[in-house]
């Protein structure tokens, strides 16, 4: 799939009401979300969360322990993806994968995730927007 590049607006907001990492799909497409982060045991990637248009999902519950999180998302409706430079492991079905090295040799796919800097906040919401739609505010 061709990456969307800079055409998609990605708005990231701190949300003080809850201590979670959330992602809101503000697009008109069904999207699949995978998440990468570092925990006490090292790197881990998880997926897939399927989000319908205008839906939100909690990806991690509780206070965030890391500053940086990584997202790779696929537009199931129109094609394309939200991606970045940080290479991490994924697979086509539901997954939790430890480690980001040797993805292909271990039988996984390798995709580029984009970095989300939470600024060390304890709660954060990521919002994906269509390229022709202004970025929205935090969900209620």
Report d(CA 91, CA 67) in Å as an integer: 25
37 exposed, middle or buried (CB, 10 Å; 0-12, 13-18, 19+)? buried
Alpha-carbon distance values, 123 to 14, 15, 41, 78 (Å)? 6, 6, 21, 30
| Residue 136 is assigned to a structural domain of this protein | no
Q: Which residues of the chain have pLDDT under 70?
A: 1-18, 131-140
What confidence score (pLDDT) does residue 18 get? 57
What confidence score (pLDDT) does residue 73 get? 94
| Residue 96 is assigned to a structural domain of this protein | yes
Report d(CA 129, CA 123) in Å as an integer: 20
| Residue 133 is assigned to a structural domain of this protein | no
| Residue 139 is assigned to a structural domain of this protein | no
Nearest Cα neighbor of 57 from 94, 25, 82, 97 is: 25
The verdict on pTM exceeding 0.85 is no
| Residue 53 is assigned to a structural domain of this protein | yes
Residue in this structure with the two tokens 């909690």, named with its chain if needed: 58
Domain count, the chain: 1
| Residue 74 is assigned to a structural domain of this protein | yes
Neighbours of 6 (CB within 10 A): 8
The range of the structural domain enclosing residue 52 comes to 5-128
Report d(CA 112, CA 3) in Å as an integer: 10
| Residue 11 is assigned to a structural domain of this protein | yes
What confidence score (pLDDT) does residue 70 get? 96
| Residue 66 is assigned to a structural domain of this protein | yes
């Amino acid at each position: 799939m061709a990456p969307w590049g800079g055409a998609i607006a990605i708005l990231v907001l701190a949300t003080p009401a809850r201590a979670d990492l959330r992602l809101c799909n503000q697009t008109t497409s069904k999207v699949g979300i995978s998440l990468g982060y570092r925990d006490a045991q090292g790197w881990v990637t998880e997926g897939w969360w399927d989000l319908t248009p205008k839906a939100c999902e909690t990806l991690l519950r509780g206070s965030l322990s890391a500053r940086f999180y990584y997202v790779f998302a696929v537009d199931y409706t129109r094609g394309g993806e939200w991606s970045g430079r940080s290479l991490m492991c994924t697979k086509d079905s539901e997954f939790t994968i430890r480690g980001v090295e040797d993805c292909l040799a271990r039988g996984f796919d390798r995709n580029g995730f984009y970095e989300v800097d939470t600024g060390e906040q304890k709660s954060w919401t990521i919002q994906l927007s269509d390229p022709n739609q202004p970025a929205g505010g935090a969900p209620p």
